[in-house]
Amino acid sequence: MNEERDSLKGKLAAYAICVAVAVGLLLAVLTISGYWKAEDPMDRARILCDGFSVPGALLVLVAGVLFVSGQGAFNGLLFGLKRGKEIFLPFLHSEYVPYREFVKRRAKKKVTGYGCLFFTGLAFLIVGIVLLVRFNKLYP
């Protein structure tokens, strides 16, 4: 029972952090775009649409990159960077690891728990799309 409660608390904390980051990005976009000074309703609607779409798209894309990375898409690139460091910076001592071992070690270190990024970003993106449809109907 305590494990379920701790798990629920952890998930709620992760979602709270994701929502806080998304709201921070929303406020940053609104401030940078001049939402508070815009007097034309068309400009305010456009900026509000952008304000929800930008954090939504960013969070969904970050979740996508984390998913692809967990599937091993960047193993070759990371191995090449590690080997490049060993070749060009020999004074930084590290043992040589063959590619097969490198992939096995990376498979053990999979990143999980990025669903909160995806679903929070998806919620913001849906609100942005709804605002975009509304904007296009009001201001053709």
Query: What's the average model confidence in pLDDT over 32-38?
Result: 92
* pLDDT score of 90: 81
Q: Identify which of 121, 129, 137, 136 has the alpha carbon closest to the alpha carbon of residue 57.
A: 121
Identify which of 41, 40, 50 has the alpha carbon closest to the alpha carbon of residue 125.
50
pLDDT over 90 for what percent of the chain?
53
In this prediction the pTM is 0.82
| pLDDT for the residue 3 | 67
CA distances from 57 to 60, 75, 119, 129 (A): 5, 25, 11, 11
Most confident residue range from 96-100, 115-119, 135-139: 115-119
How many C-alpha atoms does 97 have within 13 Å on its Cβ side? 16
Check whether 1 has a pLDDT greater than 60.
Answer: no
